Amino acid sequence: MRYLLRVNMSDLTITKEDLPAGWARYGGRALTSAIVFAEVPPTADPLGADNVLVFAPGLLGGTNTPNGGRLSVGAKSPLTGGIKESNSGGQAANALGRLEIAAIIVTGKPADPDARYMLTIEADGSASLSRVDEWAGVQNYALADMIKATRPEDDRYSTITNGPAGEAGLKASGIAVSDMKGLPNRFAGRGGMGAVMGSKGLKAIVVSDKGVGTPAHADKEAFSAALKTFSSALKEHPVSGQGLPTYGTNVLTNILSEAGGLPTRNFSEGSFEGAEATSGERMREVTLERGGDVSHGCHTGCVIQCSRYYVDKDGHYKTKGPEYETVWSFGADCGIDDLDDIAELDRICGEFGLDTIEMGATMAVYMDSGKIAFGDGPAAIAALRSIFEGGEPGRVLGDGAEATGKAFGVAHIPVVKHQALPAYDPRAVQGIGVTYATSTMGADHTAGYTVATNILKVGGDVDPLKAEGQAELSRNLQIATAMLDALGFCIFVAFPVLDIPEAFNAIFEMTEAHTGQPWDADALMQVGKETLVYEKLFNDRAGFGPADDRLPEFFKNVELPPHNIKFMVSDADLDSVYDFVPEVAAQMGLE
Amino acid sequence: MKVDVALFASLSEYHSVDGDTRTRTYDLAEGTTIADLISVLGLPDQPRIVFVDSRHAEESAPLHEGQRLAIFPPVAGG
CATH code of the domain in which B28 resides = 3.10.20.30
Quick check: B17 pLDDT over 90?
no
B52 CB within 8 Å of a chain A CB: no
| Chain A residue nearest residue B71, CA to CA | A255
| Chain A residue nearest residue B68, CA to CA | A258
- Domains along chain A? 3-208 (3.60.9.10), 246-425 (1.10.569.10), 427-499+520-591 (1.10.599.10)
Within a domain: residue B6? yes
pLDDT bucket at B39, cuts 50 / 70 / 90 = very high
Quick check: A291 pLDDT over 80?
yes
Q: Which residues of A193-208 are buried (b: 16+ CB within 10 A; e: fewer)?
A: bbbbbbbbbbbbbbbb
Angle between helices A430-438 and A470-487 (to 10 degrees): 60
Q: Are A425 and A262 in contact (CB under 8 A)?
A: yes
CB contact (8 A) between residue B46 and residue A238:
yes
pLDDT bucket at B77, cuts 50 / 70 / 90 = confident
| CA dist A119 → A122, A186, A202 (Å) | 10, 19, 8
CB contact (8 A) between residue B75 and residue A276:
no
Within a domain: residue B77? no
B9 CB within 8 Å of a chain A CB: yes
Query: Per residue in A65-110, pLDDT tens?
Result: 999 999 999 999 999 999 999 999 999 999 999 999 999 999 999 9
B51 CB within 8 Å of a chain A CB: yes
- Whether cis (ω within 30° of 0) applies to the bond prior to A464 is no
Contacts of B49 in chain A (CB under 8 A): 255, 455-457
- From the list A462, A453, A389, the residue with the least C-alpha distance to A164 is A389
Closest Cβ–Cβ partner in B10, B20, B54 for A260: B54
If 0-12 CB within 10 Å is exposed, 13-18 middle and 19+ buried, where does residue A430 land? buried
Q: What is the pTM of this model?
A: 0.98
CB contact (8 A) between residue B77 and residue A259:
no
Mean pLDDT for chain A overall = 97
Within a domain: residue B28? yes
Within a domain: residue B36? yes
Average pLDDT over residues A377-401: 97
| Chain B residue nearest residue A237, CA to CA | B74
Contacts of A492 in chain B (CB under 8 A): 76-78
Within a domain: residue B61? yes
pLDDT at A541: 98
Query: Per residue in A42-64, pLDDT tens?
Result: 999 999 999 999 999 999 999 99
The ipTM estimated for the assembled molecules is 0.97
Query: Per residue in A337-372, pLDDT tens?
Result: 999 999 999 999 999 999 999 999 999 999 999 999
Within a domain: residue B78? no
Quick check: B76 pLDDT over 90?
no
pLDDT at B35: 97
Query: How many contacts (CB atoms, under 8 Å) link A and B?
Result: 103
Query: Per residue in A512-552, pLDDT tens?
Result: 999 999 999 999 999 999 999 999 999 999 999 999 999 99
Within a domain: residue B21? yes
Full domain range(s) for residue B23: 2-72
Within a domain: residue B65? yes
Query: Domains in chain B: how many in total?
Result: 1
pLDDT bucket at B20, cuts 50 / 70 / 90 = confident
